[in-house]
Structure 1
Amino acid sequence: MNDINKFQSGILLLLIFISVLLGQVSIIGLAAGYVIIPALIIMLFLLFIQIPISDIGKSIKNIKFTAITVVINFIWTPILVFLLGRVFLSNDPDLLIGFVMLMVTPCTDWYLIFIARAKGNRALGASLLPLNFILQIILLPLYILIIGGTSVKLDVVNLLTSTIVSLLIPLVLASIYRKIILSKKGENYFEKVISKKACKFQGWFLNLAIATMFASQGRLLITNPQVLFKLLIPILLFFIINLIIGQWIGKLFKLQYEDKVVLKLTTLARNSPIALAIAVLSFPDKPIIALALVIGPLIELPVLLIISSILLKGRKIAKVI
């Protein structure tokens, strides 16, 4: 994955800007909404191709690390989100619910890209995906009720179906494809040809998912620019506080660099695409909630790019010293 994520924050922002403009055309905005999930599925397939399932099995046995991430993601983070939401968004109930849905759902897709970019433990990061999915599906209505102050009906069947389609299917297909190629061509061919190509196209499909996500909500974003500024401070504070917490926990438990990267990024990256699908399904008459989830990545992705770069550069400096 050494060539992954060649897009920089400036290019990413340009992509988002163009996507928002294109989203002003009704037919483009409508069509874009149907592309988000397929693009993410293909991206995950290309990502899972590069990860040996045996390594994922080994990494999920890391009980201590899994317990640490669960405590941070599903106990500490909701408390932090509650405090930030009440301080900054208490007068905007729809925006508060959108903020809650964005910040209490750990990322289950593109955070793996940033782990790879910072040379973290990809298999360990991937092993957390199923658990993150299950826990956030179970706990999200509770978080919304407690933090947002409003109960909401979630279509659990449709939610589980989308989870299976977006995660399990690409994981199984990637595993089968990997085994077939390894048995016929060998590991050397796989690493030099298949893995390299998968790495290259993975970034393209991530870009496509980002572009279509912003294009699908482009009109709403243009007509409600104040939402961005209202969310900016609480989201940035979330990243700063959790980054400090992750750094402290990593030192406390004496984690290796690769595992520290996973800890920091899995507790920072949020699950906007899946949360957006839940918001559209659960709150069709409250577009501001979906808009908050669209704006989230506008702040999040450049921050994750910067953090992953800092982590990698810090490691290189430490090696030199």
Structure 2
Amino acid sequence: MNKTEKLYPLWILLSISLGIGAGQIHLLKNIMADMLIPLLIAMLFFSFLQISFREIGQAFAHRTFFLSSIGINFILTPILAWSIASLILPDEPAVWIGFILLMVTPCTDWYIIFTQMARGNTALSTSILPVNLLLQILLLPFYLYLFTGTTDEIPFTSFIQGAIAILLIPLFTAWLVRLWMGRSGKREKWLAKLHYVPVFLLCTAIIAIFAAHGDLLTENPSLLVRLLTAILLFFTLMFVVARAAGKWLGLSKRDLASFHMTTLARNSPIGLAIAISAFPEEPLVALALVAAPLIELPVLAAAAWIILKLDH
């Protein structure tokens, strides 16, 4: 682990601070809000560019990884999220909905960056991405009804538009660019030079998130403390569960790192768009989605650092 990798948690915290500060300036806030989606697309493009797409097909054959990841993400995680919400947020129905919405949607974008940081099997992580996306689209209304009693319609168009913009466009473009670059040694040299570009774009996207929506945090300080406690408890328990399960399953070091990130990271960018469109009269629903990166991103960066320390 080089010096730059050791400083990942610091870069994440610095980006959050810069984003909150930028959000106090009206012009910057509007600019950052417009930049968020393009930044996520660019971030994933450079991440996908470094992936050998031939390996993705082989990754689908790893049944142990697939079945265990799906089991944790779509069976254990909803139960854990409901239990934590019942314990910490029983008297805040709007925040309860946002918390459930966040925790039952596995990440489909930036967890790939953190998998790379932890030197995990990026192709394996990418291969489960469409499965996570499809299952959360199908199961989200069921989870919301089961755990919160809400019958509000969930706008599936937000999922579809988010998937096309944030996932399919950079994936397809990266595949075309790799074909254009060919198999020459020059391609590998260029990719080596671009290794830190996704991390830079991730930090910039974090700044944009907190600049655009950080006011929700400052307007609800006491509730924010309870919410952050719930989010931190979730990620701590999930790290322990994933590590124990991965060791028990006999996953390799690279696959274990991927397993950690696939089960830890949540889909707050797409979830935020859904919260705003599905619950426009309940801004506190979006609070959980805005607050999540405040804990999630440093936790994922720290998790990558811990994994590197323990397993590499």
TM-score (norm 1): 0.92
Paired letter, 1:147:
F
Counterpart-to-counterpart distance in 2, 1:117 and 1:158: 29
> How many residue pairs are counted as aligned between the two chains?
312
1:241-280 to structure 2, matched below 5 A, reads: 241-280=237-276
The alignment partner of 2:265 has SS state of: coil
The alignment partner of 2:281 has SS state of: coil
Counterpart-to-counterpart distance in 2, 1:278 and 1:32: 19
1:25-64 to structure 2, matched below 5 A, reads: 25-64=25-64
Please tell me whether residue 205 in structure 1 is matched to residue 201 in structure 2.
Answer: yes
Q: Which residue of 2 aligns with 1:165?
A: 165
Counterpart-to-counterpart distance in 2, 1:278 and 1:269: 17
Paired letter, 2:264:
L
Paired letter, 1:161:
Q
Please tell me whether residue 190 in structure 1 is matched to residue 187 in structure 2.
Answer: yes
Q: Which residue of 2 aligns with 1:319?
A: none
Deviates more, 1:276-285 or 1:169-178: 276-285
Q: Contact 1:3/1:200 (CA < 8 Å) preserved in 2?
A: no
Deviation at 1:242, TM superposition (A): 1.5
Q: Contact 1:5/1:113 (CA < 8 Å) preserved in 2?
A: no
Q: Contact 1:4/1:117 (CA < 8 Å) preserved in 2?
A: no
The alignment partner of 1:163 has SS state of: helix
Deviations 1:206-254 (A, max 9, x none): 1111111111112222211223211122222212222221122112211
Q: Which residue of 1 aligns with 2:212?
A: 216
Counterpart-to-counterpart distance in 1, 2:302 and 2:79: 26
Deviation at 1:120, TM superposition (A): 0.9
Q: Which residue of 2 aligns with 1:281?
A: 277
Q: Which residue of 1 aligns with 2:294?
A: 298
Paired letter, 1:279:
A
1:5-44 to structure 2, matched below 5 A, reads: 7-44=7-44
1:106-255 to structure 2, matched below 5 A, reads: 106-182=106-182, 186=184, 188-193=185-190, 195-255=191-251
The alignment partner of 2:27 has SS state of: helix
Distance 1:2 1:42, change over 3 A: farther
Deviation at 1:103, TM superposition (A): 1.2
Counterpart-to-counterpart distance in 2, 1:273 and 1:208: 14
Counterpart-to-counterpart distance in 2, 1:247 and 1:104: 20
Paired letter, 1:96:
W
| Unmatched segments (≥5 aa) in structure 2 | none
The alignment partner of 2:225 has SS state of: helix
Deviates more, 1:171-180 or 1:245-254: 245-254
Q: Contact 1:56/1:126 (CA < 8 Å) preserved in 2?
A: yes
Counterpart-to-counterpart distance in 1, 2:41 and 2:291: 22
Deviates more, 1:129-138 or 1:21-30: 21-30
Deviates more, 1:245-254 or 1:18-27: 18-27
Q: Contact 1:23/1:29 (CA < 8 Å) preserved in 2?
A: yes
The alignment partner of 1:284 has SS state of: coil
Distance 1:251 1:11, change over 3 A: closer
Distance 1:155 1:19, change over 3 A: same
Counterpart-to-counterpart distance in 2, 1:129 and 1:3: 30
Q: Contact 1:36/1:213 (CA < 8 Å) preserved in 2?
A: yes
Q: Contact 2:106/2:266 (CA < 8 Å) preserved in 1?
A: yes
Q: Percent of aligned positions with the same letter in both sequences?
A: 41
Paired letter, 2:145:
L
Deviations 1:108-149 (A, max 9, x none): 111111111111111001111111111111111211111122
